[in-house]
Amino acid sequence: MNSNRKFDVAIMGSGVAGINAAITASQNNLSVSLIDMENSLGGISYNYGCVPTKTLLHTAYLFDTFKQLESFGLRGFNQENLVPDWGLITQRMKDNVKRSVKHLTTVLNKHNITRINGQAKVIGPNALGVNHEKIFFSSLIIATGSEYPSLSFFKSNFQKLYTPKTIYSIREIPKSITIIGAGMIGVEFACMFASLGSTVHLVDKSPKLMPYMDEELSTFLVNLLKEKNISLHLGFEAVDNKADHLFIKNKNKNQNDVLKTDIYLSCIGRKANLSGIEYLLDHKLELTKRGFISTNLKLETTLPGIYAAGDVNGRFMLAHVASKEGEIAANNIAGNESEILYDLMPYNMYTSPEFASVGLTEKKAREQGFLAHSQIYSLNSNIKVITEGQSGGLIKVVSKLDDSEILGVHIIGQNATDLIGEAILYMTSGATPGNFKSVVHPHPSMSEALVESLVK
């Protein structure tokens, strides 16, 4: 080690958790080093997740819309000439990633943050080794994110298997694709490829699609996937691969299926990236049963002065949650004690229409002992939906039986991921359904549907 430097806070990982932690720590007048072995800022979210996938999904949405132009009274468009060009699509995606990462760089440059490119390794209770240098710290935030696990039944040299990190390297839109894992990422890729013309198989070992989702939303999603001609294989587990065939098995129904497609995409759950923290693990840094770093609501680990934010703690593996965790970890280091409120963190999925959810489902509310009821409003009667020719959807509000508290809001519809923010604001402020209804919304708009969803 040729040189030494000392910082109040060292951060391992420059994804959204690490970046937000660095900015917050700097705003609290702490000296900060942000260390990452990747050349590009933003982690999975900016480089392989949120930015690229939402770019692709919007392209797929436009493709679907253009095929319906005549229903809007626009004639003369030759659909046969409308062909998705994977090269041009992914070039736009890369441009959006580059633009987004450039913005991150600009933001970080406005703060007094020392960026270090290299593989960080904890080498002592308050020291990191990076390249040929020792970095000393008073507090450490581990924000190393997550990684995609390998699938044991695929040979290591199998050329047709991709992950959400490598799928962008394909040279053309596949004629057929099998997606293993029907979580939010798997469903988004399934919808995108189906819209662009691929035959899609979606496999998941759970007998129910997204079992944590509200039942009305889950049923709607199943129907949506069927409308897109996506073949659902629920309750099936991928068990073996021979040559170009994938064998899947439903143990409960004693069924077997063979899937042969051009490519395979693994969207199974990610695991914590624990590289570089072996020293801490040897000194009793606690992991959860699932292999993630154990944290409390202050994002503290079981070792003093060590925090973990983002996917690496496995609490809620979404970018907006990681961002908030980074902020809270840094604030606690700075002495501004705060805790994260996971109960009001939204789920969001960018299919067409979008899905968004916050708080308890009706089933969960009753399981937790609440006397709960729900109101469901069909967006098919919303004027904005009608005039824009959108695909409808619904809003479901779960409240206490006496309407003293909103327990959950679940939305399917265009711009649902924007609309859920207003619901979170109401719930965070402790508003009742009555408060919800008292706010005047513009007409026509999707937002007024939130009010209409509470009309009895």
Give SS3 for 392: coil
Q: How many Å from the N-terminal Cα to the C-terminal Cα in the chain?
A: 70
Rounded to 10 degrees, the C-alpha dihedral 231/232/238/241 comes to: 0
Distance CA 438, CA 453 (A): 13
- Could you tell me the pLDDT band of residue 157, with boundaries at 50, 70 and 90? low
pLDDT of residue 47 exceeding 70, the answer is yes
pLDDT score at 174: 97
CATH 3.50.50.60, applies to 161-266: yes
Q: Which of 60-74, 127-141, 236-250, 382-396 is predicted least confidently?
A: 236-250
Q: Which of 357, 359, 392, 356 is nearest to 377 (CA)?
A: 392
Distance CA 214, CA 261 (A): 32
Distance CA 40, CA 117 (A): 10
Task: Dump pLDDT digits (tens) for 326-357.
Answer: 999 999 999 999 999 999 999 999 999 999 99
Interval 376-393 mean pLDDT: 89
Q: In terms of pLDDT, which residue wins out, 158 or 272?
A: 272
Query: Mean pLDDT across the chain, nearest whole number?
Result: 92
pLDDT score at 156: 66
Query: Would you kindly state where each structural domain of the chain is located, as residue ranges?
Result: 3-147+271-342, 161-266, 353-452
pLDDT of residue 1 exceeding 60, the answer is no
Select the CATH number that applies to the domain covering 3-147+271-342 from these four: 3.50.50.60, 3.30.465.10, 3.40.462.10, 3.40.50.720.
3.50.50.60
pLDDT of residue 305 exceeding 90, the answer is yes
pLDDT of residue 225 exceeding 60, the answer is yes
Which single residue is written with the structure tokens 């969803």?
A: 453
How does DSSP assign 113-182, residue by residue?
Answer: EEEEES-EEEEETTEEEETTEEEEEEEEEE---EEPPPPTTS-TT-TTEE-TTTGGG-SS--SEEEEE--
Do 3-147+271-342 and 353-452 come out as alike in CATH topology? no
| Apex 55 CA angle, 203 and 60, nearest 5 | 60
CATH number of 353-452: 3.30.390.30
Task: Dump pLDDT digits (tens) for 74-102.
Answer: 888 887 788 999 999 999 999 999 999 99
